[in-house]
């Protein structure tokens, strides 16, 4: 049995992916520029499989990415969450936005909620984001979150940076009590 929790931020709902997300998620996945550093452009059927894999990760790992829903309009904004795809050196916080929502702070807003979830609900002592060295927009988000470069690695032949997020003790957001 797998339960995918729902979280809320100021402007976003972080919730399980559903079938209706396929259309906007496929639009994102077909966007060559957005997809350049995260696996490349893909067609509708492949986008469906990626969406399913993101969802299935919750069963395999106990955590995974959420779909981001714009609270005010209900629109699909993108995805973010705690993930650990096979081949990554450790779990990461990931994010990706539909073109309509880039440049408005949504990635940082969602990733901050994912970081809180990783520390307070999953009990992680550390978390990173594994970002392609040429992915300047994502590196900017990581920096905005206070992450620092902490080594590197490679994935599918690409040079990747390990962007270490600020620790549970030093993060600015108020610490919530652990779930019991």
Partner 1 sequence: MTVIIPTLETERLILRAFRDEDHDAVADFYANDPGAAYVGGSTDRRGAWRVIATFVGHWQLRGFGPLAIEDKATQRWLGWCNLWRPPEFPEIEVGWTLAAPFRGKGYVHEAAVRVRAYAFDDMQLPTLVSYIVPGNVASKRVAERLGAKRDGAAQINGVTVDVWRHPHPRGAS
Query: Footprint of partner 1 on this chain (CB under 8 A)?
Result: 1-4, 6, 15-19, 22, 44-45, 48-49, 51-61, 85-87
Is-contact 51 21, C-beta < 8 A? yes
Nearer to partner 1, 3 or 73 (CB): 3
Give dist(CA 158, CA 178) in Å, integer: 37
Question: Residue 153 in 3-state DSSP?
Answer: strand
12-43 core/surface letters (b: 16 or more CB in 10 A; e: else): bbbbbbeeebbebbbbbbeeeebbebbeeebe
Do 91 and 127 touch, CB atoms closer than 8 A? Answer: yes
Q: How far is the CB of 86 from partner 1 (least distance, A)?
A: 4
Min separation Cβ 42 and partner 1, Å: 12
CB of 63 to partner 1, least distance (A): 12
Which is nearer to partner 1, 71 or 171 (by Cβ)? 71
State how far the Cα of 163 lies from the Cα of 151, in Å rounded to an integer.
8
What single DSSP character describes residue 103?
Answer: T
Residue closer to partner 1 by CB (options 22, 98) is 22
Taking the least distance from each CB to partner 1, the nearer of 121 and 146 is 121
Kindly report the backbone phi and psi dihedral angles of residue 95, in degrees, each rounded to the nearest multiple of 5, phi listed first.
-160, 155
Which of 49, 99 has the CB closer to partner 1?
Answer: 49
CB of 9 to partner 1, least distance (A): 18
For residue 69, what are its two tokens? Answer: 């829903």
Q: How far is the CB of 76 from partner 1 (least distance, A)?
A: 14
């Amino acid at each position: 049995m797998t339960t995918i929790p729902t979280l809320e931020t100021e402007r976003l709902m972080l919730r399980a992916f559903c079938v209706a997300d396929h259309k906007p998620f496929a639009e994102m996945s077909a966007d060559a520029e957005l997809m350049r550093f995260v696996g490349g452009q893909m067609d509708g059927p492949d986008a469906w499989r990626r969406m399913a894999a993101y969802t299935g990760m919750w069963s395999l790992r106990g955590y995974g990415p959420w779909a981001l829903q714009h609270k005010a309009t209900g629109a699909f904004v993108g995805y973010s969450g705690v993930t650990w795809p096979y081949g990554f050196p450790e779990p990461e916080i990931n994010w990706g936005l539909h073109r309509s929502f880039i440049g408005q702070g949504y990635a940082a807003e969602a990733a901050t909620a994912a970081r809180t979830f990783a520390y307070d609900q999953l009990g992680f002592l550390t978390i990173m984001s594994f970002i392609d060295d040429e992915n300047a927009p994502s590196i900017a988000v990581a920096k905005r979150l206070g992450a620092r470069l902490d080594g590197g690695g490679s994935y599918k032949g690409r040079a990747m940076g390990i962007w270490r997020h600020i620790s549970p003790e030093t993060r600015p957001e108020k610490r919530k009590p652990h779930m019991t």
